[in-house]
Amino acid sequence: MATEGRSSILDSHLVELIKIGNMIRSEYCEKSKILFVEMRGLIGIEEMLGFAKCLVMDSFSYPSFNVLEDATNAQFDFLIENTHQIMDIMDQHLGKFCCIRHAMVRETPREIAYGIWYEKKNRIENYTTQVFSSKQRAVDWLVKF
């Protein structure tokens, strides 16, 4: 996974946690408590739902963590209205966590719109989402808490 946008403090001790085909993969940095997620290519709703399930059900025993989702090289291949399915999974399973911050890095207008839609629809108290245009700003936001 590329290390662009990560400061050297975040590069140590990365462990691969989730991999869905060649489209979605993630590495977790225990030191920073950031899950780095990289999305590439055409991402359908099934891949997004699979990732959401892995994230909330299987991956973490930590009470709090951060997600840096980089979708600058991805194109979402599902209707924006289908994002409610992802939110439903998150809503059902995030109660076991104290706090999750999710920074979404987007580049194209369509993918930015998906991120903003998801951010606006979020009603989960312990789950904060925000859309960014650069990885560095997303990292800065995550580490300031």
- Evaluate whether 17 touches 30 at the Cβ level (below 8 Å): no
Is residue 80 in a domain? Answer: yes
Compute the distance between CA of residue 112 and CA of residue 16 in angstroms, rounded to an integer: 26
pLDDT higher than 70, residue 11: no
Is residue 20 in a domain? Answer: no
Domain tally for the chain? 1
Is residue 70 in a domain? Answer: yes
Is residue 57 in a domain? Answer: yes
Is residue 56 in a domain? Answer: yes
Compute the distance between CA of residue 47 and CA of residue 50 in angstroms, rounded to an integer: 5
Write the secondary structure of 4-73 as one string of H (helix), E (strand) and C (coil): CCCCHHHCCCEEEEEEECCCEEEEEECCCCEEEEEEEEEEEHHHHHHHHHHHHHHCCCCCEEEEEEEEEE
Is residue 125 in a domain? Answer: yes
Is residue 124 in a domain? Answer: yes
pLDDT higher than 50, residue 12: no
β 24-29/34-44 pair status: antiparallel
Is residue 4 in a domain? Answer: no
Compute the distance between CA of residue 127 and CA of residue 108 in angstroms, rounded to an integer: 24
User: Comparing 14 with 60, which gets the higher pLDDT?
Assistant: 60
Provide the β-strand partners of residue 43: 76
- Residue 92's CATH number: 3.30.750.24
The pTM score is: 0.82
pLDDT higher than 80, residue 1: no
Domain of 115, in residue numbers: 26-143
